[in-house]
Amino acid sequence: MSVSLNFSSLADGTIVSPFSRLRTLLDGIPPGHERAIDLTLGEPRETMPPFVGAKLAEAEALLAKYPAIKGSDDLRQAIADWIGRRYGLPGFVDPAREILPCNGSREGLFYAAFPAVARKDLNGRRPAILMCNPYYQAYLGGALATGAEPVFLDATQETGHLPDLAALEADGDLLARTAAIYLCSPANPQGAVADETYIACALRIARDHDIMLFFDECYSEIYSGAPPAGALEVAAKTPERFRNLVVFNSLSKRSNLPGLRSGFMAGDAKFLENLFEVRNLIGPQMPGPVQHVSAAVWADEAHVAANRRAYVEKYDVADAVLGTRFGYRRPPGGFFLWLDTSQIGNGAHFALTLWKRFGVKVIPGAYLAQAGSRGTNPGETYVRVALVHDAGTIREALERFVHVSA
């Protein structure tokens, strides 16, 4: 289930950003259209909450103080209140012990690997960190930085674009040395959503083998139908409460504030206390004004509902333009399209052709994944398309896609 990667892979060029790989692929090739459209970066461009600037200015004096690594009481309470409203858990989450703000979910996802590996006694065996495949690069970075073996759990069409938990549960030797499992719902890039049964199964596996379950839910507020289930709401129904579970979320996608670098971790109080100590030594604090504005943003839902309406409009465009081309089906969550280009060539070939002939830039799916248990890359024949522009631009870009398939 793994490839040969270690700590040096982070610095010797073995592992590079998908965006760096794309730059190399397209280097020196001009776009084949006078109006180039970039659909690579998952950087939301809808309207941010209108009060952000005023709130930042209101807290300007906080720049003269070192901010608390645990965040302000107001921010932690605002996050706890949001969790309570979103998942039907009013007053359930302890903001003092079960919430830890971080500088965007990426920072939290990376640092969480350190105490996860440290708590696991393996009698000299190399720890393993498991991750959905395709994966978010912070998962792999955390695994390699802690000396753990990264193990890639393929999430394919055959498995509903989520890792096969039944197959994982059958591998007792692997689970015995696993320190953490990273899962993402709604999934990036496929948009698949884990239901309560799936989450409960993942949590049971984690507890049976004393593994930390890291649930990345940064796309939780972008969905087309019913709100996706959350791991905290599933865990809250168990006697163990949040044991062995940490959930990660942020304001980047929910509130169109990727530059604010504001997120949180919530769950297992004992684990978060250990993670707090790690971050208190080597991690960055969230600036005071950012904490102040973040508390206000978590308290507001009007802008979030407006964002969802905008994404629904974009998916309506995709429905109309693509139909069933490229295996397209409207995903239940997230803002990416995961398009199968196998009838035309692999994802890299399609991305190169699309740029060279039609001036649309997308990410080859293979750049977001690694070879898994079958020795193949589950993203090889896909491209990822970020629906971050306005609906008119999305329509124009997808209409160019259709010509590639002709």
- Tens-place pLDDT, residues 187-215: 999 999 999 999 999 999 999 999 999 99
pLDDT by residue (tens digit) across 125-143?
999 999 999 999 999 999 9
Q: What are the φ/ψ torsions at residue 33 (nearest 5 degrees)? A: -155, 145
> How confident is residue 8, by pLDDT bands cut at 50, 70 and 90?
confident
Whether residue 55 is contained in a domain is answered as no
More confident call, 70 vs 11: 70
Spatial separation of the C-alpha atoms in residues 76 and 97, rounded to whole Å: 10
Residues 342 and 279 in one domain: no
Q: Is the pLDDT of residue 3 over 70?
A: no
The answer to the question of residue 134 being in a domain is yes
Q: Is 50 exceeded by the pLDDT of residue 2?
A: no
What is the DSSP code string of 200-245? HHHHHHHHHTT-EEEEE-TTTT-BSSSPPP-HHHHHTTSTTTTTTE
Q: CB-based contacts of 146: which residues, under 8 Å, 6+ apart?
A: 113, 114, 116, 117, 127, 129, 179
Residue carrying the six token digits 């706890």: 80
**What letter would DSSP give residue 2?**
B
Average pLDDT, the chain: 95
- What number is the average pLDDT over the span 112-126? 93
Based on the fold, state whether residues 186 and 147 are members of the same structural domain: yes
Q: Which of 300, 328, 358 is the last residue of a domain?
A: 300
Specify the pLDDT at position 331: 97
Q: Which of 257, 277, 300 is the last residue of a domain?
A: 300
**57 located within any domain:** no
What is the CATH classification number for the domain harbouring 21?
A: 3.90.1150.10
Q: Are residues 322 and 246 in the same domain?
A: no
Residue numbers of the domain that contains 89: 64-300
253 and 116 in a common domain: yes
Confidence of residue 372 (pLDDT cuts 50, 70, 90): confident
The whole-angstrom separation of Cα 385 and Cα 317 is 13
Q: What is the percent of the chain with per-residue pLDDT over 70, rounded to a whole number?
A: 99
Band (161; pLDDT cuts 50, 70, 90): very high
Kindly state whether residue 291 falls inside one of the protein's structural domains: yes
User: Is the Cβ–Cβ distance between 59 and 293 less than 8 Å?
Assistant: yes
Report residue 178 as tokens. 């696993």
Q: Has residue 406 got a pLDDT over 60?
A: no
Average pLDDT for 343-372: 95
Domain boundary among the residues 275, 300, 325 is at 300
Domain contains 237: yes
**Residue 374's pLDDT is what?**
81
Q: Do both 200 and 333 map to the same domain? A: no
Q: What is the CATH number of the domain that holds 277?
A: 3.40.640.10
pLDDT of residue 405: 66
Residues 264 and 386 in one domain: no
**What is the band of 44 on the pLDDT scale with cuts at 50, 70, 90?**
confident
Do 272 and 369 fall into the same domain? no
Residue 28: predicted pLDDT: 95
Same-domain pairing of 258 and 209: yes
- Count of structural domains within the chain: 2
Which has more confidence, 395 or 403?
A: 395
Predicted TM-score of the model (pTM): 0.95
Q: What is the mean pLDDT of residues 13-25?
A: 91
Asked whether residue 273 carries a pLDDT value surpassing 90, the answer given is: yes
Identify the band that residue 320 occupies on the pLDDT scale cut at 50, 70 and 90. very high
The CA distance from 91 to 94, in Å, is: 8
Q: Is residue 73 part of a domain?
A: yes
Residue 200 lies in a domain: yes
Give the phi and the psi of residue 73 in degrees, each rounded to 5.
-60, -40
Question: Are residues 258 and 281 both part of a single domain?
Answer: yes
How would you classify the pairing of strands 149-154 and 128-133? parallel
Kindly state whether residues 296 and 310 are assigned to the same domain: no
**Based on the domain organization, do 330 and 399 belong to the same domain?**
yes
Over residues 52-73, the pLDDT tens digits come to 999 999 999 999 999 999 999 9
In this structure, are 263 and 249 located in the same domain? yes
- Cis before 186? omega within 30: yes
